[in-house]
Amino acid sequence: MAQSVEQYKVFGDQMAETRMVKETVSKYFKRLLEIPFDAKAEDVSSRKMNQFGDLNRAYGQTVSEGAPAESAWAALQSVTRYVDHAKSTRGGSEAESRLLSAQFGSGAAMKAEAVRLLTADSDFAELLRQPFVPGSRDPDSDVKAILAQPFRSRATV
């Protein structure tokens, strides 16, 4: 158990030191929700747009409560906050349904996908390796190159 806690601490420290500017966090949430990066709001379902808004609000609250701003840790914790406290669920009492979803159901799957995107997805790994240079001519150019690739759903990955 102590070894697992130490591994989790190392993971958390690495995520806290991994910089994700606001635009990258937004793209992370879109990827998690399977919203194409170039989609217009009117082309996305109301449900997906509501989830996207909820994730952004969770990010703001997570940072305001002390998570390192513009970090992968804050983005990941936002997903956890959303799943554990805001994501809608069905059946039974709200608290029980939310707990079951967060631990074993669609919420658990969303949290696992959030971790996978940050640790095993080649597009995001490349995105996170690229240095962000404030004040450069186009600070988002490395992101644009990666995002120029066609959108792939999880089913085809």
Give residue 151's pLDDT. 46
Name the nearest CA neighbour of 87 among 62, 111, 71. 111
List for the chain the helix, strand, coil content (%; round to 5).
70, 0, 30
Phi then psi dihedrals of residue 4, to 5 deg: -65, -40
Using CA atoms, how far apart are residues 140 and 144, in angstroms rounded to an integer? Answer: 6
pLDDT in tens, the chain (157 residues): 888 888 888 888 888 888 888 888 998 999 999 999 888 888 999 999 999 999 999 999 999 999 999 999 999 999 999 988 877 766 667 777 777 777 787 888 999 999 999 888 777 767 666 654 444 444 444 444 444 544 444 444 4
DSSP three-state, residue 38 = coil
Give residue 131's pLDDT. 55
Give residue 135's pLDDT. 42
